[in-house]
Amino acid sequence: MSNAPQTSDEPFDPRNVPIKPAATVLLIRDAVAGGIEVFMLRRTFSAAFASGMFVFPGGKVDDVDGIEEIAEICDGLTDAHASSLLGLANGGLAFWVACIRECFEEAGVLLARHEDTGDVVRFDSPEVESRFNHERHNIHDGSVALLDLCVAEGLRLTTDDIHYVSHWITPMGEKRRFDTRFFIARAPAAQVPLHDDGETIESFWISPQEAMRRAHDKDLMLMPPTKANIEFILPHATTDEVMAAAAKVGTPQTILPKIKIDSDGRVIGIAMPGDSDYDVL
C-alpha cells in the first residue's frame, strides 16, 4: 500500500475515520488597559488539518500523557476525578497533561510550579528562558519526556488551576477527526508565549471582543469550537471572573456538528445541535 499522503480528491469512507483524543487550552491574562486577552496561534498553511486557521495551543493526547508516574506530579487532580468530569471510565487526567505538554511545545508556556516553594515557574532570566526553550524543543521531538523535565527541575503540573469547559467532536465527513476537550488556564506572569515556526506561524494576544469583530469581518479564520470558546470568555472582565465561571462548568455537553452537503456532494455548511435540520442530517 502506498504511503503517499491522501489528496483532497481521493475517496474515503467517513465511517472508518478514527476519532483521536485531543486537548486544547485557552491561555488568558488581564490586559494592561483593562479586560482580558486570550493567546492565539495561526496554523501553518501546510498543515493537514485546519491549515491557516487561528487556534489555541493544543493537540493529540499521547500515550505518554497517561502514564502512572506523571499522575504523581499532578497537583490537586486525580485520574478518577478528571475522568468523572470527562465522562470517562479512566484516563481522564491524560487530557490535562496533554494540554500542558502541547502548550509548552507550541507556545513555550509551562503550566507548572516549583515543588519546594509552590511558586509558578518563571522564565525571568535569560539563562532560565534559554534552558527551558531548549527543553521545549526536546519534548517536541520526543528526545525528552515532560515527566523527565519536571523531575529534573523539581516541578509539579498545575492541573488544579486548569478548568475543563467544552467538548467538541469533529463531524463525520472530515478526513481527520478529533474528540477535543477544551480547557482554560491563567497565563503565568513571567513567561512569554511564542509560536514554534513549525506547526504554527503567527501568535498574538487578543481581546475576545476584537477576536469576534475580526471573525465577523472575515479577517480571523475561526473554526466553530474556537469561536464558541471565545464567546464563553466574552462576558467576563477579568481572569478571576473567567476562572470562576470555568470552575462551575462541571461536565459540559458534547457538541457534534454535522456537515451539510448539497445534491452534488459539495459541503455547503455546518449544522449545530438545536438547528432545525440537525436531526435529519
The model carries a pTM of 0.90
Higher pLDDT, 11 or 86: 86
Cβ neighbours of residue 163 under 8 Å, at least 6 residues apart?
Answer: 183, 184, 185, 243, 246, 247, 249
Segment 198-223, tens digit of pLDDT: 677 788 999 999 999 999 999 999 99
- Architecture per CATH, domain 14-255, reads as Alpha-Beta Complex (3.90)
Q: Which three cell numbers stand for residue 131?
A: 534552558
Name the nearest CA neighbour of 104 among 81, 119, 124, 121. Answer: 121
Q: Which three cell numbers stand for residue 133?
A: 526553550
Segment 112-144, tens digit of pLDDT: 999 999 999 999 999 999 999 999 999 999 999
pLDDT at residue 44 in the model? 77
263, amino acid identity:
S
How far is the C-alpha of 63 from the C-alpha of 91, rounded, in Å? 10
Q: What is the DSSP string of 144-167?
A: S-HHHHHHHHTEEE-GGGEEEEEE
CA dihedral (264, 267, 273, 275) positive or negative: negative
pLDDT at residue 88 in the model? 97
DSSP assigned state of 171: P
H or E element, residue 70: helix 68-71
- Say if CB 37 and CB 206 are below 8 A apart: yes
Segment 106-116, tens digit of pLDDT: 999 999 999 99
Higher pLDDT, 266 or 255: 255
pLDDT at residue 115 in the model? 97
Where on the phi/psi map is residue 269: left (φ > 0), alpha (ψ -120 to 50), or beta?
left
Q: Where are the domains of the chain?
A: 14-255
